[in-house]
């Protein structure tokens, strides 16, 4: 059994009762037709049975015979019930979550099959569940979950940046439906400067980029996402540090070369002096 998917007893009982009533009604109609014949002596029952078989086996999920979308919020559980129609024999059913087959118990496979998604969370949004006929997988009904939830935000809370450097504040946002995003600074609406501020947004990311930060950019930036299901906020503390002195690379390299050459000349001079003293001693 896949995690979070279980059979649902209340649905099973109701669907089994409905299925039994349908079968009883069908049997009753067939019994009434046994005594009827056509003018040529051909039993009406045989004609009716052939027409009924030709109709073909059909499935329904939660009383829907075609693919559909099921809207729901975050909840402890939702139930999906698959039922066979237009069949006088035992039909095995299969359930799929996306491309993966759901493991069903033996008593939850024939003519009617029920699953529960428990609990329903954000990761279930957009997931498709499909009920299929085992002997003919082309016979199927799919339901796609539309899980609606308020904004949930995340992101690095404190950023240190050196003056004159560039910085990007990234607000990770998940919500369904997608909310309206805004940046605030120190609890006030942020005035965007076209030359220094840039916004970037996808369905799950809302970014504010600041080029060549200044001391005046210090402060608390708030990512605000507003949705009809609620609002979400995330604070980002931007700390602009003093610009560090930068030594020219060319000057540093030149100084190293000069020092190295001076040391080498000193070593050569000492060796020459040592050789002169040594020659004087041995002569």
Q: What is the mean pLDDT of residues 86-101?
A: 96
**What's the domain count of the chain?**
2
| pLDDT, average across residues 36-63 | 54
Whole-number Å distance between alpha carbons of 133 and 114: 14
Same domain, residue pair 95 and 168: no
Share of the chain above pLDDT 70, in %: 78
Query: What pLDDT sits at residue 7?
Result: 62
Give the CATH number, domain containing residue 130: 2.60.40.10
27 within domain boundaries = yes
Structure confidence by residue, pLDDT tens digits, 126-164? 999 999 999 999 999 999 999 999 999 999 999 999 999
272 found inside a domain:
no
- Residue 70 DSSP label: E
How confident is residue 281, by pLDDT bands cut at 50, 70 and 90?
Answer: confident
184 and 97 share a domain?
no
Mean pLDDT of 194-223: 96
CB-based burial label for 96 (10 Å; 0-12, 13-18, 19+): middle
pLDDT at residue number 4? 64
Does position 51 have pLDDT exceeding 50, yes or no? no
Query: 3-state DSSP helix/strand/coil percent for the chain, to nearest 5?
Result: 30, 40, 30
Q: What's the CA gap between 107 and 96, in Å, rounded? A: 17
- Containing domain of residue 43, as a range? 5-148
């Amino acid at each position: 059994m896949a995690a979070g998917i279980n059979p649902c007893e209340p649905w099973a009982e109701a669907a089994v009762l409905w299925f039994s009533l349908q079968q009883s009604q069908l049997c009753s109609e067939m019994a009434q037709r046994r005594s009827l014949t056509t003018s040529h002596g051909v039993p009406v029952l045989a004609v009716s049975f052939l027409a009924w078989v030709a109709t073909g086996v059909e499935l329904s999920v939660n009383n829907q015979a075609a693919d559909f979308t099921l809207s729901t919020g975050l909840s402890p559980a939702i139930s999906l019930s698959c039922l066979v129609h237009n069949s006088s024999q035992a039909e095995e059913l299969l359930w799929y979550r996306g491309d993966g087959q759901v493991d069903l118990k033996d008593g939850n496979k024939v003519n009617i099959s029920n699953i529960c998604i428990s609990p329903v969370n954000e990761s279930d949004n957009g997931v498709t569940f499909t009920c299929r006929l085992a002997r003919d997988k082309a016979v199927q009904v799919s339901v796609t979950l539309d899980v609606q939830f308020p904004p949930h935000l995340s992101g690095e809370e404190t950023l240190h940046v050196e003056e004159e450097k560039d910085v990007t504040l990234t607000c990770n946002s998940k919500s369904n439906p997608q909310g309206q995003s805004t940046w605030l600074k120190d609890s006030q609406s942020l005035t965007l400067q076209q030359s220094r501020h840039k916004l970037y947004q996808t369905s799950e990311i809302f970014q504010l980029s600041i080029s060549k930060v200044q001391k005046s950019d210090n402060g608390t930036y708030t990512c605000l996402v507003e949705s009809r299901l609620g609002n979400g906020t995330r604070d980002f503390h931007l700390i602009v540090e003093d610009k560090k002195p930068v030594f020219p690379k060319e000057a540093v390299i030149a100084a190293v070369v000069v020092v190295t050459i001076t040391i080498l000349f000193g070593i050569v001079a000492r060796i020459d002096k040592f050789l002169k003293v040594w020659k004087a001693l041995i002569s």
